[in-house]
């Protein structure tokens, strides 16, 4: 790093090749250790690392003081080198110390592990928390991801365009944050859930290939992989197929991962949504471990066991003793807990069967015929000591329940094992029927292009129509999603009609968006993936808060600024707003 007026080197840069050189360093005081009457060892820290400085004990420097130290680099005396530090072979001696700022004792030690400090305290004093090596590493890792993405997108002809932050409300998606208008009391802007509308309008505008590292906002409940504010790579391109979109976005993801890990990931795998559900029971599958679902409907086609006889779908997973010895050996209490878990997430029940040699141990074993038992073992590939878990229900419930149990039993921490990226394609265009209207519900949004092979099913079997929609999944986390868009006005009206939206209502709700499509919209498609989520996984973090400089807590509060905070009555009056009293408790 280039020198500045106050320093010649960074603390973490010094090596044996610098021995004999006079240096000036700036940073924060870490630990101070007295060494006899006249000398003290001080660990000086900046974002690059730590260097040991030997100073006169008369220099009154304490923890987190900001100082400038000038001295000579020398080898540490024999036997005192610290192999745990990159700078551990050298120290700075003959030091002159200039105190740039004093500091009160911090609320927690900067070298403390995050797990040892209450998160609310860390976030209240985030400026101290960010001084820690872990947070410095995470933020720089994130910056490297952004830089790699920009390089890759620009090399492939994408133009970076900023889109508006104040836009009309489109409440068909997630819950929005609203901004009251002072100029037009009673009217509101919305903050963007994503630049979806704008990027499609850019395609109509002839931009051809657009991208943006965009800030998006959604008023949704927070969790480990969700914040009110999040950043995503947002991209759209014209005259492309689904394969084109996956290729270009895949290049950006691979470039970002390589910039951080130093290794280029293999080509991203692809499976269809149907295959993901059949094999893994979820639409964001974690491919790092087995426990895949096995189809058993044919095994029990003629069964007299009532719980299986009326089921639309029967599937199972085999918990192998060789791979999951603890789970395979679950006792009755653990198995009962698994059954309760299955019921809680939608199943009518859970059948468990333990394989003991040629025998099957299970409360339902007596209801199964010998041929069903042997066919079951063969279908599952089960061996002695294995545990079989079976769910019989509607196809979607069977898949989803076993998918959750699969994750509960076998999924490793998100950062462990290899990075397994997978494209999930051919999502359903519609997902179920609205309980009030009886009309289909869009799987993503009403602008996804139907699969050309399924257009004949629109009126006869709308729930069987696939979309040209796709998700990118990494280690069981959905990084993002996208689709080929509808660019033909007639097809868009057809989709709206199936949703129960006539032309007049469509013009009222989406007119500002649909009107431009009458003036020559090219075929186009796009994608967006969450940079926070990608950074968290590559950083080995289980929560995206650890890769965001100033996040909110899971309750949505900001301990640093105490936001959200009340607004004074005068400000509310300017906006034409007043606060209603809280509803009376019943």
Q: What is the pLDDT of residues 396-430, one digit of tens each?
A: 999 999 999 999 999 999 888 899 999 999 999 99
557 token code pair = 């509060």
Give me the sheet containing 421-425, strands edge to edge.
159-160, 209-217, 229-238, 524-530, 477-484, 469-474, 421-425, 269-272
- Confidence at residue 542, expressed as pLDDT on a 0 to 100 scale: 92
d(CA 109, CA 117): 9
63 token code pair = 């923890």
**Nearest 5°: phi and psi at 233?**
-80, 120
Cβ–Cβ < 8 Å for 539, 138: yes
Please give the model's pTM, rounded to 2 decimal places: 0.91
Q: What is each CA distance from 441 to 289, 471, 528, in whole angstroms?
A: 33, 19, 22
Q: Which residues are within 8 A (CB) of 359 and not within 5 positions of it... i.e. 6 or more apart?
A: none
- Confidence at residue 585, expressed as pLDDT on a 0 to 100 scale: 66
- What is the SS3 assignment for 494? helix
pLDDT, tens digit (0-9, with 9 covering 90-100), for 11-60: 999 999 999 999 999 999 999 998 877 899 999 999 999 999 999 988 89
User: Dihedral of CA 161/166/171/175: which sign?
Assistant: positive
Least Cα distance to 156 among 251, 72, 88 occurs for 251
- Confidence at residue 308, expressed as pLDDT on a 0 to 100 scale: 93
HSE (side-chain half, CA atoms, 13 Å) at 26: 8
Least Cα distance to 233 among 217, 249, 244, 255 occurs for 249
- Confidence at residue 171, expressed as pLDDT on a 0 to 100 scale: 62
- Confidence at residue 173, expressed as pLDDT on a 0 to 100 scale: 66
Q: Which residues are within 8 A (CB) of 154 and not within 5 positions of it... i.e. 6 or more apart?
A: 160
469 token code pair = 């929609």
Q: Which residues are within 8 A (CB) of 442 and not within 5 positions of it... i.e. 6 or more apart?
A: 429, 430, 431, 448, 499
Parts of the chain with a pLDDT under 50: none
Pairing of strands 359-361, 49-56: unpaired
Q: What is each CA distance from 130 to 46, 138, 413, 555, 566, in whole angstroms?
A: 11, 9, 24, 21, 28
Q: In 286-420, at which residue ranges do the beta strands (DSSP E only) sit?
A: 294-295, 313-319, 351-356, 359-361, 387-393
Domains of the chain: 11-101 (2.40.50.140), 119-268+523-581 (3.30.930.10), 289-411 (3.30.1360.30), 427-467+488-521 (no CATH)
Full DSSP string of 373-403: HHHHHHHHT--TT-EEEEEEESHHHHHHHHH
- Confidence at residue 172, expressed as pLDDT on a 0 to 100 scale: 61
b/e code 65-93 from CB counts within 10 Å (16+ = b): bebbbbbebbebeeeeeeeeeebebbbbb
| Burial classification of residue 270, based on how many CB atoms lie within 10 Å of its CB (0-12 exposed, 13-18 middle, 19 or more buried) | middle
Full DSSP string of 160-201: E----SSB---TTSSPPPEEE-SSSTT-EEE--S-SHHHHHH
């Amino acid at each position: 790093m280039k020198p500045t007026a106050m320093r010649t080197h960074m603390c973490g840069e010094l090596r044996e090749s610098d021995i004999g050189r006079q240096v000036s360093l700036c940073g924060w005081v870490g630990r101070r250790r007295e060494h006899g009457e006249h000398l003290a060892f001080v660990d000086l820290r900046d974002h690059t690392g730590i260097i040991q400085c030997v100073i006169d004990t008369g220099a009154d420097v304490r923890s987190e003081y900001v100082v400038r130290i000038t001295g000579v680099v020398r080898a540490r005396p024999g036997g005192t080198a610290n192999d745990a530090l990159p700078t551990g072979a050298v120290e700075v001696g003959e030091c002159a110390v200039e105190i740039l700022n004093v500091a009160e004792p911090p609320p927690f030690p900067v070298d403390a592990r995050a797990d040892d400090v209450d998160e609310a305290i860390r976030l209240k004093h985030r400026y101290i928390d960010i001084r820690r090596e872990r947070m410095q590493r995470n933020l720089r890792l994130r910056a490297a991801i952004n830089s790699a993405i920009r390089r890759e997108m620009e090399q492939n002809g994408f133009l970076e365009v900023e889109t508006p932050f104040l836009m009309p409300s489109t409440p068909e998606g997630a819950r929005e944050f609203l901004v009251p208008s002072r100029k037009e009391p009673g009217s509101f802007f919305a903050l963007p859930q994503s630049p979806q509308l704008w990027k499609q309008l850019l395609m109509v505008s002839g931009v051809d290939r657009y991208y943006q590292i965009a800030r998006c906002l959604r008023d949704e409940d927070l969790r480990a992989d969700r914040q009110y504010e999040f950043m995503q790579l947002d991209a759209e391109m014209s005259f492309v197929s689904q394969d084109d979109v996956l290729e270009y976005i895949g290049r950006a993801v691979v470039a970002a991962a390589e910039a951080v890990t130093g290794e280029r990931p293999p080509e991203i795998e692809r499976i269809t949504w149907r295959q993901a559900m059949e094999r893994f029971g979820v639409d964001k599958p974690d491919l790092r471990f087995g426990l895949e679902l096995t189809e058993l409907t044919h095994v029990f086609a003629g069964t007299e066991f009532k719980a299986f006889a009326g089921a639309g779908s029967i599937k199972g997973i085999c918990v192998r003793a060789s791979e999951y010895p603890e789970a395979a050996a679950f006792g009755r209490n653990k198995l009962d807990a698994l059954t309760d878990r299955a019921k809680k997430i939608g199943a009518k029940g859970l059948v468990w069967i333990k394989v003991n040699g040629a025998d099957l141990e299970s409360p339902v074993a007596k209801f199964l015929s010998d041929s069903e038992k042997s066919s079951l073992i063969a279908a599952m590939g089960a061996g002695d000591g294995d545990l079989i878990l079976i769910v019989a229900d509607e196809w979607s419930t069977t898949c989803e329940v076993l998918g959750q149990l699969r994750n509960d039993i076998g999924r490793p921490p998100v950062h462990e094992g290899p990075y397994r990226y997978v494209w999930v394609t051919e999502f359903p265009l519609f997902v179920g029927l609205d309980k009030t209207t009886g009309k289909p519900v869009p799987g993503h949004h009403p602008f996804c292009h139907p699969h050309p092979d399924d257009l004949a099913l629109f009126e006869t079997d709308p729930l069987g129509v696939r979309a040209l929609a796709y998700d990118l999944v990494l280690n069981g986390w959905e990084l993002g999603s996208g689709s080929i868009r509808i660019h033909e006005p007639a097809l868009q009206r057809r989709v709206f009609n199936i949703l129960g939206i006539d032309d007049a209502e469509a013009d009222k709700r989406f007119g500002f968006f649909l009107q431009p499509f009458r003036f020559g919209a090219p075929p186009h498609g796009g994608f967006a993936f969450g940079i926070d989520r990608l950074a968290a996984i590559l950083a080995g973090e289980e929560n995206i808060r650890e890769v965001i400089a100033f996040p909110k807590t899971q309750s949505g509060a900001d301990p640093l600024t105490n936001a959200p905070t009340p607004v004074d009555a005068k400000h509310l009056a300017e906006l034409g707003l007043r606060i209603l009293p809280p509803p009376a408790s019943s």
